[in-house]
Structure 1
C-alpha cells in the first residue's frame, strides 16, 4: 500500500481507534481542545463556509442540564466523561463568509440567501466537520464517544434558544477508562463499497 501517513498514525486515527464508552477521570484541557480545533479547521467545506460550532460542557450545572436530554443508555457516559461537546450547525454561518472568502464576498447573497438552502448546506458541511473533529480528537491521543441518542429539540431549546444553532452530535472526550471499547464490528470490503465507471 502507498499511504503517506506512517502505520502508527494510521492505527491511531483509524485501525486501532474505537468509539469509547467509558473514560478515566484524567481531565481534558482547553489547550488540548484548542490544538484539535487548530488542526481540523483546515479540512475542506464547500465555499469554506465552516458552519460547525462546538459547545464544551465542563461545569456540573451545564452537564446536568445536558444529561437530562440524553437517551437512557447515554446518560451515565455523559455524566462521567471528563469533557462533553455538543457539535452544532450555525444556521447563520453565511454572515462570516465575507471574511472567510475575501476574494468572493458576493457568495453570501448569491448562494445562501434562502434559509432552506442555507440550512441544508450548513448541516451537510457541519456534519463533515464533525467527522474531522472526531479524527482530530484521536490525533490528540484522546478517545471520542460520539452519540446521536439525544433529544435534539430539547438540547436546542435548552442551549440554543435563539434558534441560530441546531445540534448534530454529542461527543464525550477523554482518555479511555476500563472496558472502554466494544469489539470492532465488520466493515464493508473495498469490493462492496467501491465501483469504477
Structure 2
C-alpha cells in the first residue's frame, strides 16, 4: 500500500464535516454508482457484504420516510438531494458460496444461528456504511449520517419482506458550508487509547 497524500487525508478526515443544510444541487445517478463502486471494495468478514442501500432521490420517495423521522431530522432530510437508507440483509449467508467461494462450508456456519447472523450483518453493514461515507467524501459529496428515526417504521415501509433491517440513514449532497456549527471537541489519543 502507498499512503495517500496530505491533501487527500485532510479532505476525507479533517476538512469534511457533517451537514444539515443542503445546496439546491442534484446528485447524479452516475455519482451514486461511482460511490457504490468505491465502497464495495471495503473488507467485510468472510466477504459477507450484508449492506443493502436505497437511494431516495425524489420528493415522493423522501416523503415515505418522513413518518419515521424524529422531528429534528425531518427538514434536513426532506431538503437533502439524496437520502441513503442503509440496511442489512439477514440472508447474507445465502450468498457466501459465491462471495466466499474458497470456503465451501461458510454458509453452514450461519444456518439456524439467528444471533450470530444478526450480529454479523449489523456489524459488517456498519463497517460498509463507514466506507460509504468515505467514498462520498472522496467524490466531493457532503454527508449527514443519522440514527434519529424509527427503524420499525422504515423496515415496514421499505423492506416489508422482513429479511432486510434498517441500520442508519445518510443524507447525501452538497452542503451549505456557511451553516456549519463550530467543530466539536474530540478525545485526545491518551484519553481513549492504550499500548499493551
TM-score higher than 0.5 here? yes
> What residue number does 2:107 align with?
108
Q: 1:89 aligns to what SS in structure 2?
A: strand
> What residue number does 2:84 align with?
85
> What residue number does 1:142 align with?
141
Question: Normalized against structure 1, the TM-score is what?
Answer: 0.95
The total of aligned residue pairs comes to 195
Question: What is the CA deviation profile of residues 122-165 of structure 1, one whole-angstrom value per residue up to 9, with x for unaligned ones?
Answer: 11111111111111111111000001001111111111101111
RMSD: 1.3
CA distance in 2: counterparts of 1:42 and 1:112, whole angstroms: 26
* Alpha-carbon distance, 1:111 to partner: 3.6
Q: 2:95 aligns to what SS in structure 1?
A: helix
> What residue number does 2:10 align with?
11
CA distance in 1: counterparts of 2:83 and 2:123, whole angstroms: 22
* Alpha-carbon distance, 1:112 to partner: 4.4
> What residue number does 1:181 align with?
180
> What residue number does 2:33 align with?
34
Question: What is the CA deviation profile of residues 65-96 of structure 1, one whole-angstrom value per residue up to 9, with x for unaligned ones?
Answer: 11121110110011111111100011111111
> What residue number does 1:62 align with?
61
Is the aligned partner of 1:51 residue 2:54?
Answer: no
2:24·2:81 contact (CA, 8 Å) conserved in 1?
yes
Question: Normalized against structure 2, the TM-score is what?
Answer: 0.95
Runs (5+) with no aligned partner, structure 1: none
Q: 1:84 aligns to what SS in structure 2?
A: strand
CA distance in 2: counterparts of 1:131 and 1:172, whole angstroms: 13
* Alpha-carbon distance, 1:117 to partner: 1.0
Runs (5+) with no aligned partner, structure 2: none
Of stretches 19-28 and 57-66 in structure 1, the one that deviates more from structure 2 is 57-66
1:146·1:171 contact (CA, 8 Å) conserved in 2?
yes
CA distance in 2: counterparts of 1:112 and 1:186, whole angstroms: 44
Of stretches 7-16 and 54-63 in structure 1, the one that deviates more from structure 2 is 54-63
